Structure 1
Amino acid sequence: MREQSILFDLDDTLVHCNKYFDFVIDQFVDLMLTWYSGHGLTKQDIRQKQLQIDLAGIQIHGFMPERFPQSFVETYQWFAQHYNRPVSSKEVDWLMQLGHTVYSYTVEPYPLMNETLHKLVQAGHNLFLYTGGDVSIQMKKIKDVGLDQFFQDRIFVTVHKTREFMNTLMNEKQFDRDHTWMIGNSITTDVLPALHAGIHAIHIPVVDDWVFNNGTIDVTPKGAFYQLPSLLEVPEAIQSYTKK
């Protein structure tokens, strides 16, 4: 079996991510309900507006860390204007600080993360990490769960995890596309860029994923495309395909 180059996504593929954002959003919603009590504002109203603003911000700023706290502030300002309520600089500062707390959590690895990566290394494959976000924040996560032992300096971090960046990465690092895989939970930033780049893809969906990660497969795979329920099934899937 020829060795493969295997790129892993980080957030909600190898380590938990969404649950920390959900927890902080819950706190934001509770604050807004307190500040806007008597206005008829609902949890659903707040969540929908924050999501709308956050998704719009990604198109401009990508995965820059300021985007998420700023979505709280812009949501707050939108409802302030809607209900003719004065904007408080103290409340704005509070929301910015709250939004930034999401980056302070020590992340938890997904079940069987280490076992999966060990199997792939022992099989002779080359592992790479390809993640979206701020370099310092992502590197902290990587070190917190010991992923640097598997990926060493083979780590790529970008604020815009797009089809264009994936294709550029394939070219600049001279990946052999017939023997390269992308593994992740996001249709938008993992699967579609991989398939458009002509490499293999494995989708590992998560329950109640962030809306941004959902998408429609609009390209015919040139190689393998699997959807698997867990990380542990990845080594066998790759081995089975490469034996064909």
Structure 2
Amino acid sequence: MNTNSLSNQDHTGRKYTREWFAITAMIILLCINLSAIFFSNLILSSNNSKHAPLEQEFFNAEYGIRLSLPETWKYIDMSSGGTAFVMQFASSPETLEMLPEAPSIGAGIIIHSSGENHTIEEEFPGISGMDEINRIHALSLYNIAMLEQPYVFEIGGYPASSGVYLYQFKGGGVNAFGQQVIDMYSTDGRKTVVNLTLIARGNELIDIYAMSGPDEWNKYRSTLEAIINSIEISAWQR
């Protein structure tokens, strides 16, 4: 028996085994990446529907928030004269009752501020770019996928940033930065598509969460974007 031949065959077999392992690993990684791309494209597929007419106006002069809504939308203004405020808007009474949790049906918008005394510098030390603040803020709320990169613009002369994310709210725990947080948007792991818009009004950071479930995102997206585009921000009247 030729031992050199057996040794060569064994070496060749190990070589092919390693190559097949490498090829298999590459195929698995490619499938994972393609699946992520497919899922993102599925959520963000083109939406040909027009937004509902914005026939209802909301205006809170004290906090300087004005926007337009479809006539059928409902809202609740929970601002109470303090420095912080929360305003909630929804496509139906049933959806409004679900807020601030991410809705399982319909679409909702939450406008929130921790107030004038809760500064951007305190929350994001050393970071000044609004698009970077948007991304980091999204990560702190357990985003599991960035569907659209945040972009910077202005609302009422104030710098703003908007990005689209696929969230899986967990109701508290440790965020992407290892920080312990209590998240009021608890939905037992429910996935939600969120257009997160941040507005820097001086040192105050205003958060706007426009959201719906992945299955209904394309149905409501144009209306949510129209509402966001209608928002006017002015100085506090206090």
Do both proteins adopt the same fold according to a TM-score greater than 0.5, normalized to the shorter chain? no
Normalised-by-shorter TM-score class: under 0.3
- The structure whose Rg is larger is 2
Higher relative contact order (CA 8 A, sep 6+): 1
Write 1 or 2 for the structure with the bigger share of strand.
2
Could you state the TM-score of these two structures normalised by the residue count of structure 1?
0.24
